[in-house]
Structures are given as structure tokens and as C-alpha cells.
A and B are shown apart, each in its own frame.
Chain A
Amino acid sequence: MAHVNYGTIEPRSLGFYAVLGILGAITLAGLGAALYMEHHGHWITGMSNQVMWGVPHVFAVFLIVAASGALNVASIASVFGRQLYKPLARLSSLLAITLLAGGLAILVLDLGRPDRLIEAMTYYNFKSIFAWNIYLYIGFFGIVIVYLWMMMERRMNDYTKPVGMLAFIWRLTLTTGTGSIFGFLVAREAYNSAIIAPMFIIMSFEFGLAIFLVVLMAGMRWTGRELGDVVFNRLRFLLGVFVAAVMYFVTVYHLTNLYITQRHGIEGFILLDGGIYTKMFWLGQVIVGGVIPLIILFSGLGKSRALTALAAILVVLGGIAQVYVIIIGGQAYPMPLYPGKDIVSSSFFDGMVAVYSPSLPEVILGIGGIGLALVMAAFAMRVLPFLPQSLSDADADPHHKAA
């Protein structure tokens, strides 16, 4: 592949403006939900003093994790020199930026005092992982924008590899930071584990590639561009490998906890008798997000574009379920304040499984973040050439022989 042609999305396409309009409306609804929550206070949400991070945080963490993972396709091209992935690198970087923006927007709009964001930008407690993450997020935007510039400006192409290397290292650090928000928390038994940060990294590979694949397939199809089997199958099998890798990490995480007697309570809660969290784990995370996609992606079923797209969407849904179990399940299970004691009574819900049912504004805010990420990506693809004109087998691989 000597030269790749890129193009914008054609103007005056009714379909494009319909997509833009729908995504824009979802984004505005999210903003409206945030204003509603901010005006009334958080008591109108499902969140409480027991579960203080709710559905907005599930969507925010999912998007932030997916953002760094979406960049992987570009890294495979620039850092690991795989030419096949090169035409995909621009879209990969674009999604990395917009997914992060969508996730951060949710996080900021859910703050108790979003008007005080300037405090978080001007004063840092350097022992806080949140404070590290503010640097990591801002740096990520800057580095990926420069990376895109290196890729899109022909005179700068020579610098793509070193900048791509920096972006790759930065994104690994960023996801380590996101995972460590939970991994470094000593108070709760579901967290407090060194495996959480690497597990978040492999989750980012999975979520990011699933979203990338869906956007790529939709973008190519809706703009009449060809996506050949060579590129398609490579991405399909890669997604399958990532799904399996996430399942491996999840298994090791739970095996560790199952071995530690102190943690049998939380494990029983998530795996056996935690109600909605147990269902979300087995049905959402394992079956929908793991087993079904694995079967589709690695079997003949995956040759069907529609089924592979479905598998990618199931990975996204399973991923949201996984983050839900981690964040909300981890808070719903009571903290072990009084080992060896049963709690007879407490006015503050000590020892009780916390009740959390997400409110509509929270859900709309979360989905609004996804809307924002996608509307930004769609708009960018309209004004700048992010999509390759063709990913046909002949373009993707000159040595490819039609079977």
C-alpha cells in the first residue's frame, strides 16, 4: 500500500445530517439532564450516601477506557509498523479524542459543583489519582492532536512514529491511571487490587476496538466506501483476541478474591447472590459481552458483516455491564467496618447492601456523553479527511489474491 487516499464525508447528504441531528439531540438531552440534576441537587438521582458514583460514572469510565483503546489501531500502524492498519490510523485517533471528550463531559457535569472546575485545574494534590488523571487526560488530547497532525500533514509524516510511540506510552499510562482510581482504594473489598489497572488496559483494548469497528463499518457503508475482507477479518479476529483476554483477566481477578477468605463476602455477592449485580455479571458481562461475541467472531458466523457488527455492539453492552458491576456493585456491597460482627441496626445503612436504581436523568446524561463523542466524530469526518476512500482488498494488501 504505497499511498492512501482519504476523503471527507460528502456534503449535502441527507442521511449524514439526519445522523448529525439525532446525535446532536441526544447530546442536548444529556446537557438538559445535567442541568436538571444540578438545579435540584443529587437527591433526585438514584445516587446516595451509600452509592455516590452512579450511572453517569459508569458511562464516563466506559468512554474514558474506550477512548484510550480506540487509539490502539493507530498504534499498531505507527508503533508496530503494520501497514495494513495505516489507513485506519486517522479514524482511530479521532475516536480516541472524541470518546475521551464525551466521557469527561459526563464526569464534569455530574460533579456536585461543576462551576468550580477551575479549582481542579489550578490546584493539584499530587497524591490524588484524580489529579494525576487531569494531567493525563489533558496531555492525551494534546499528544493525539499532534499525532493526527503528523499523520495528516505530509511534510510531518516522518515524525509519525516517534509521536505515535509517545501516544502509545501515554495511553497505557492513562488507562493505568483510570484503573488505579479503583485499584488504589483500600476501603472497599471489590477494589484494592493491583490487577485492576492492567485489567482496565485490556478492557480498553476491547471496548475501544469494538466501538472503532462499529464506527468504521457504519462510516464506510453509509458513505459508499468499500471495506474489504482482509481488513475486516483482521479487525474481527483482533477483537476476538481482546474479548478472550478480558475474560482471562476477569477470571484471575475473581480467583484471587475467591482464594482470600476475607473477600468471600464480596465474591459471593457478585457471583452468586447479588441480585442485579450477579445477573449483570453472568448475563451482561460474561454471556452477552464475552461468550456470544467470541462464538460469532471466531466461527463462520463472523463472516457475516451484520453478525460481526452485532458482536461488536454486544461487546459494548457487555462492557457497560462490566463497568456497572465494578463501580456500582463495588459500592453496593457494604464495607467491612466491623469484622466478626453482625450489624443489628444503624441509621446510616452500615452492613446493608445499598439500594441503587438509576434515575432517568442519570441515564440520559450518560447516553448524552456517547452522543457527544459520536457527534464530534461525525462532524470531524465531514470537515477533514479521516476516512480512507477505499479499504478494498486490493488497496489494503497488494499481494492479496482473490480466493
Chain B
Amino acid sequence: MSLSRREFIGISGAAVAGMALAPGLRLVELARARSPEEAVTRLQRWGLLVDIGKCHDCNACVTACHEENGVTSHGRPATDAQWIRKVELKDKLTGYVETLPVMCQHCAEPPCVDVCPTGASFKRIDGIVLVDKHICIGCRYCMMACPYKARSFVHEETTNQKPHAPRGKGTVESCTLCVHRVDAGRIPACVEACNKDGNKAMVFGDLKDPHSEINKQLASAPTTQLRPDLNLNTGVRYRGI
């Protein structure tokens, strides 16, 4: 097959134009996912709503969290880390019994961040409270300050860590709201497990998005925070306590 000069120039021109345009078109596609620089924005605040009326005697959220984040037990309950726990409460007056999951409440005004001397405890601008494992010196002041008993000190060597949830002996850790999943556009492991194996008691979403499911539910019925008297404006809210 022979090409005329005109055909050759035409085909070459199209190829060059394609090579020049393709990365641009590819960028349009990339822009829909969040780049690391764009991942966190003040325009969002991630939160959880737990409907205690639906939460029953099941441990799916706890199992899923600890599986997802590689939080393993050494068979020593007093020193083993717990990122999320189930608590059963009984009303002192009426005897009404209820059960609920408790984890880091991702406060807007977190006392752990206030007291941390090195800034290892920090709050992302999208509201997720985290510990920077690289600069935590293990002083445990944040554990003294947290009103929710949400934090654990890593008391011994950790093995089989997950790459997305590094853990280190001698540092403090807590629920990350599965930040690695949230940044990838997924929901936290506890919420996913509650929807799949549990009683669909947990809703995750953006508290600043008026159209989000969590906001619709928050707007439709009374909810509360744990220790509302402390005025910490928690990202985790409960219905039915």
C-alpha cells in the first residue's frame, strides 16, 4: 500500500493531534477523582449518625473496623487497642437497656488536639481527627484529655499491619473514620459492615452537604452528641440515647 503525500500528512496530523489531546482528555477523567492535593477540603465535614433504635446485640462494626485496620488483640484486654467498642447502657430510672458503638467522636473542637505538645494529634479540615504516627512521642496526654475514652496506646510490638493504617509501639491511635477509604470515595468499614451484616444503624456522609443522606436523617428527627455539655460539636451523632 502506498500513501500519497496528502494522505501521509493527513494521517500524521491526526496522530499528532491525538497524542497532544489525549493527555488533556485523560486529565478531565482524572479530575473527577481527587488528587492528593485536592482530597481534603473545608467544604466537607465527614460525620456519622448512629440510630440506637436499630443497633442491636451485634458486633459487626467492631469486627470490621479491627479487621480493616489491622488492630489485633494480644489477649490482654487492659492494654489491647480498641478503636471502636460496643457499650450496653441501662437507664438508672427506667431500666431501659440500649446498646451503641462508641469510637472517636471526631470533635470540631477536639481536646486531644488542644493538649498534644507536638501537634501529632490533629484535625483535618474535613473534620477527621487523626494522629500523625511519625511525630507522636507517646506522652498519652491526649488519652487523659479525651472525654470519650476513644484512644488507645500501643503497648506492644504490632505485626501484620495494614499499609493504609500504620501502627507503632509507643504511640497513640484511634478511629481514623477509615480516612483511607473516605479519600478513595468509599464509606468507613464499620458503616459498610453495619449495612451488610448488621442492622443498618449507621449512616456516613458529609455534614455540610444539605442533600446528603446523613443530613436528611439528622434533619428529620432529634439526635444528640455524647457529653453535649462539653460543647465539642462532635462529628458522630446518636439518635435515641
Contacts and interface: CB of A to CB of B under 8 A. Distances in A.
A350 B137 CA distance: 26
Nearest to A354: B78
A49 B135 contact: no
A7 B123 CA distance: 57
Interface string A50-85: 101100000000000000000000000000000000
For this complex, into which size category does the number of interface residues on chain A fall?
A: 35 or more
A112 B146 CA distance: 18
B66 to A, nearest CB: 11
Contacts of A111: 137-139, 170
Contact of A344 (B90, B145, B147, B151): B90
Interface stretch (A129-137, A198-206, A246-254): A129-137
Given A43-B74, A49-B82, A342-B90, A186 B111 contact: yes
Contacts of B169: 41, 112
A113 B154 CA distance: 11
A187 B226 contact: no
A47 B138 CA distance: 13
A114 B85 CA distance: 30
A188 to B, nearest CB: 7
Interface in B80-123: 80-82, 85-93, 97, 102, 111, 113-120
B90 A116 contact: no
A13 interface: no
Nearest to A50: B78
Contacts of B214: none
Contacts of A338: 87, 89, 226, 241
Interface stretch (A118-126, A139-147, A279-287): A118-126
A185 B140 CA distance: 13
A186 B172 CA distance: 20
Contacts of B31: none
B97 A112 contact: no
A125 B226 contact: no
Contacts of B92: 340-342
B147 A112 contact: no
B153 interface: yes
Contacts of A342: 89-92
B65 interface: no
Contacts of B154: 41, 112
A125 B145 CA distance: 15
Interface in B113-170: 113-120, 135-141, 143-149, 151-157, 168-170
Contact of A350 (B77, B85, B139): B85
Given A43-B76, A49-B143, A186-B111, A112 B89 contact: no
A117 interface: yes
A328 B145 CA distance: 14
B79 interface: yes
Nearest to B62: A347
B50 to A, nearest CB: 14
A49 B152 contact: yes
A272 B68 CA distance: 44
Given A112-B138, A112-B153, A113-B136, A337 B227 contact: yes
B60 to A, nearest CB: 14
A321 B187 CA distance: 49
A337 B119 contact: no
B115 A355 contact: no
A126 to B, nearest CB: 10
A10 B193 CA distance: 75
Contact of B145 (A47, A185, A355): A185
Contacts of B241: 338
Nearest to B120: A119
A127 B230 CA distance: 18
A348 interface: yes
A49 B89 contact: no
A47 B139 CA distance: 13
A186 B147 CA distance: 7
Contacts of B215: none
Contacts of A380: none
B171 interface: yes
B119 A52 contact: no
A329 to B, nearest CB: 14
Given A40-B156, A345-B88, A186 B230 contact: yes
Contacts of B76: 43
B118 A348 contact: no
B145 A127 contact: no
Interface centre among A40, A43, A123 (most CB of B within 10 A): A43
Interface of A: 38, 40-43, 47-50, 52-53, 111-114, 116-117, 119-120, 123-125, 127-131, 134, 181, 185-188, 331, 335-338, 340-350, 355
Given A111-B138, A185-B144, A345-B88, 10 more contacts: A42-B170, A43-B155, A48-B78, A112-B170, A112-B172, A119-B137, A124-B117, A127-B114, A128-B114, A348-B149
Task: Give 4 nearest A-B pairs by CB, closest first.
Answer: A112-B138, A112-B170, A130-B117, A187-B147
16 contacts: A42-B79, A49-B143, A49-B151, A52-B143, A53-B144, A116-B138, A124-B117, A130-B115, A131-B118, A181-B141, A338-B226, A340-B92, A341-B90, A343-B89, A349-B77, A350-B85
